[in-house]
Amino acid sequence: MDVSALKNTPLFADVPDEALVKVATFATLESAVEGKTIIREGGFSNDFYVIEDGTVKVEREREHLADLGPGDVFGEQGLLEKQERSATVTATSPVRLIKIEHWELARMKQSMPGVVAELQRKVEERSS
């Protein structure tokens, strides 16, 4: 993955390129068509996503919680809190996603604690 794709997202905008090179090695690009379920409530939390382009909706128990778009992150709560997925996320348009695997989070804690702190802040924001 190209480091510039990560650099263009708010979560990674202030991270030095040397650190992003490590993340880019383990990040993948994925696409989803409108209507595709990307993560399902109750599923395993093995990765988190950054939306590069497109939109998704977030639902819990079929209740609409949020609409997300470019630069937004989802799937991080289950990873940080080591629990099952708390919501279902479905593409509401064609979407391009940056997917980061769970085991990369441990490396990120060491090399870029600010990014992990930002992920934690987002989880706390959504929980309140």
Give the confidence band of 69 by pLDDT, cuts at 50, 70, 90.
very high
Q: What is the pLDDT of residues 78-123, one digit of tens each?
A: 666 667 788 999 999 999 999 887 777 777 777 777 777 777 776 5
42 CB burial (10 A radius; 0-12, 13-18, 19+): exposed
Give the confidence band of 7 by pLDDT, cuts at 50, 70, 90.
confident
pLDDT at 53: 95
Q: How many domains does the chain have?
A: 1
Q: Which two tokens stand for residue 7?
A: 């650099």
Q: What is the pLDDT of residues 11-57, one digit of tens each?
A: 778 778 887 787 787 788 999 999 999 999 988 777 889 999 999 99
d(CA 52, CA 8): 8
DSSP secondary structure string for all residues of 26-73: HEEEEEE-TT-EEE-TTS---EEEEEEES-EEEEETTEEEEEE-TT-E
Identify the CATH number of the domain in which residue 94 sits: 2.60.120.10
d(CA 35, CA 21): 32
The residue segments making up the domain with residue 114 are 3-127
Q: Taking a C-beta distance cutoff of 8 angstroms, is the pair 30, 74 a contact?
A: no
Q: Taking a C-beta distance cutoff of 8 angstroms, is the pair 14, 58 a contact?
A: no
Q: Supply the pTM of this predicted model.
A: 0.82
Q: Which two tokens stand for residue 120?
A: 């934690």
d(CA 41, CA 89): 8
pLDDT at 81: 64
